[in-house]
Amino acid sequence: MAGVLVLGEALEGAAAASTLEAIAAGRALGGPVAAAIIGDGAKSAAQDAIAHGADSAFVCEGGLGPEAAAAFAEQTAAASAPRVVLGAKALLDGSVMARAAYRLGAGLLQDCASVALDADGRLTATRPVYGGNAMAAFRASGSPAAASLRARAYEALERDDSRAGSIVPIEVDAAAHTRLRVVERVRRPQEGVRLEDARVVVGGGRGLGGPEAFAQLEELARLLRGAVGASRAACDAGWVPPSYQIGLTGRTVAPDLYLAVGISGASQHMAGCSGARDIVAINKDAGANIFKEARFGVVGDWRQVLPAFVDQLHELLSDR
């Protein structure tokens, strides 16, 4: 019997970073932890999961749609009888955890920043509410209980290749669990670190004035080994693709450093980056809301501030 079942996915033959983070959350609850891995290279990813803290793993090779993935979750839960089911909020584009919870008859705590067990052994969680302006505590009323986790809510445990655990293949009849048909998959070429996995994110907003400015943000992100994101206004204007969007209706990031350039700091945007360890803001409007959220801020025109900052970074890096 597993204390915690983690629903995860394989990306290019390795366990997704979000899966390893969920395993760390499961271990923090006391374990034992069973990982259920979906995708191409799931068996190899299961080895990653065990090395990072899982005690056992179930695998289903190949791509599954959200309904078939939920059926896989149901089968693995029947085999492991977990008290708690965890998974990334963005698992398979964010459409799996709710379906899986329904199949398991479990209450779902969504978009959690932390999870714990109370004195009665019930799952509790904190999650942002009111567009990220406050954090609220919730408690699950039944068992099993399920929770989806925000990106980078937990740090993955150190890899330990001496760990061993069973890996059990599970067959899922995808055709029997699919009412949706995937017509086409389009993969956008990914250069560098994924936005959700980046420890440094450089975000650009309406204050940049146009798409050309994002070339400077790309250079800065490259120097900091990070990724570039954007506010909804910048995406809606067509300056960058929608995949860059950070916020309530976009991606959720939790980097060590979020550098916000020309972003006003509306609550909808902050809901997507409130988990950042440190926020540094550059904005010419001294009254911008972003300064209330930032640890450090520069009031000024980004056209003057950013080039000077990039030049200084080049100088510092050349001395190494």
Mean pLDDT of 154-171: 94
Band (172; pLDDT cuts 50, 70, 90): confident
β-bridge partners, 162: none
Q: Tokens in use for 248?
A: 């309530």
The confidence band for 142, taking pLDDT boundaries of 50, 70 and 90, is confident
Q: If you search the block for the tokens 């799996």, which residue do you land on? A: 96
Tokens (6 digits) for 93: 């584009």
- Percent of the chain topping pLDDT 70: 95
Tens digit of each residue's pLDDT (9 = 90 or more) over 37-58: 998 899 999 999 999 999 999 9
Residue 286's pLDDT band (cuts 50, 70, 90): very high
Instruction: Dump pLDDT digits (tens) for 58-98.
Output: 999 887 788 888 999 999 999 999 999 999 988 876 788 99
Which residues, in sequence order, are bridge partners of residue 8?
Answer: 37
- The mean pLDDT of 1-15, rounded to a whole number, is 87
Confidence of residue 1 (pLDDT cuts 50, 70, 90): very low
Sheet holding 134-139, edge to edge: 114-117, 123-129, 134-139
Q: Which helix (H) or strand (E) holds 315?
A: helix 302-318
Average pLDDT, the chain: 90
At 234, list the tokens. 């910048």
Read off the pLDDT band of 306 (50, 70, 90): very high
- Work out the pLDDT band at 244, boundaries 50, 70, 90: very high
> How many H-runs (helices) and E-runs (strands) does the chain carry?
9, 16
Beta bridge partners of 62: 39
Average pLDDT of span 179-185: 69
Residue-level pLDDT at 169 = 94
Domains of the chain are 4-177 (3.40.50.620), 195-318 (3.40.50.1220)
pLDDT value, residue 176: 72
Question: Which helix H or strand E contains 76, and what residues bound it?
Answer: helix 66-80
CA separation (Å) from 277 to 114, 127, 255, 259, 273?
A: 15, 16, 6, 11, 9
Q: List, in sequence order, every beta strand (DSSP E) within 44-122.
A: 56-61, 84-88, 107-112, 114-117
Average the pLDDT over 290-300 and give the result: 95
pLDDT surpassing 90 at residue 162: yes
